Amino acid sequence: LNRHYSEHNSVPFTPERIQEIGVLQCCHPRFLSKSSIFRILQRIPTISNHFRMIIMAVDTNTPAQEESAPTKNSNEKEDDVATITTEKKDASVTSSPSSSSPNLASLSSSSSLSSSGTTATAAAVASKWKIKSTPQDSSFIPTLGVTFWMGWNFVLIFLQCILFLPFTSSVVRTVIVVVCTMSSLVLPANFVPFGLGYKFGDWMLLQGEKYFGLTTIIEDEESLQQISDQNKAAIFSFEPHDLLPYPVFAFNPALQRMPGKMGKVLHCLTSSIILRMPFIRHIYTWVRVSSVDKNTFRSFLQKGESVVFVPGGVHELTYTDPLESKDESKQSIVLYLKKRKGFIKLALENGSPIVPVFGFHIEDSYGYVAVGGDGFLATLGRSTGVLPIFFWGRFGIPFGIPRPNKITVAIGKPIHVPKYDNTKSNAATMEELVEKYHEVFLKEMESLFERHKESVGWSHKKLKII
C-alpha span between 412 and 447 (Å, rounded): 9
Alpha-carbon gap, residue 334 to 84, rounded angstroms? 34
Omega before 240 within 30 of 0, i.e. cis: yes
CA–CA dist 420, 15 (Å, integer): 59
What local confidence, expressed as pLDDT, does residue 86 receive? 34
Q: How far apart are CA 309 and CA 239, in angstroms?
A: 9
Tally helices (H) and strands (E) across the chain.
15, 16
Amino acid at 418: P
Residue 245: predicted pLDDT: 94
Return d(Cα 363, Cα 128) in angstroms, integer.
28
String of b and e for 366-395 (b: at least 16 CB within 10 Å)? Answer: bebeebeeeeeebeebbeeeebebebbbbe
d(CA 413, CA 222): 10
Choose among 358, 458, 445, 354: nearest CA to 408. Answer: 358
pTM, full prediction: 0.73
Supply the pLDDT for residue 186. Answer: 76
pLDDT tens per residue, range 334-346: 999 999 999 999 9
Torsion of Cα atoms, 452 then 455 then 457 then 460, to 10°: 60
Q: Is the dihedral of CA 346, 350, 351, 354 positive or negative?
A: negative
Q: Could you give the dihedral angle defined by the CA atoms of residues 142, 144, 148 and 150, in that order, rounded to the nearest 10 degrees?
A: 60
Residue 158, classed as helix, strand or coil, is helix
Decide: helix, strand or coil at residue 29: helix
Q: In what order do the strands lie in the sheet with 289-291?
A: 93-95, 130-133, 215-218, 408-411, 354-360, 235-239, 306-309, 266-270, 289-291
Q: Are 103 and 455 in contact (CB under 8 A)?
A: yes
pLDDT at 67: 37
Question: Tens place of pLDDT for every residue, the chain, 466 residues?
Answer: 555 444 444 455 555 555 444 444 444 444 455 555 555 555 554 443 433 344 444 333 433 333 333 444 434 433 333 333 333 334 333 433 333 333 433 333 433 333 444 445 555 566 789 999 999 999 999 999 999 999 988 888 888 888 888 888 889 989 988 888 887 777 777 777 778 999 999 999 999 999 999 999 999 999 999 999 999 999 999 999 988 999 999 999 999 999 999 999 999 999 888 888 888 989 999 999 999 999 999 999 999 999 999 999 888 887 776 555 555 556 789 999 999 999 999 999 999 999 999 999 998 899 888 766 666 666 666 666 667 788 999 999 999 999 999 999 999 999 999 999 887 778 889 999 999 999 999 999 999 999 999 999 998 899 999 9
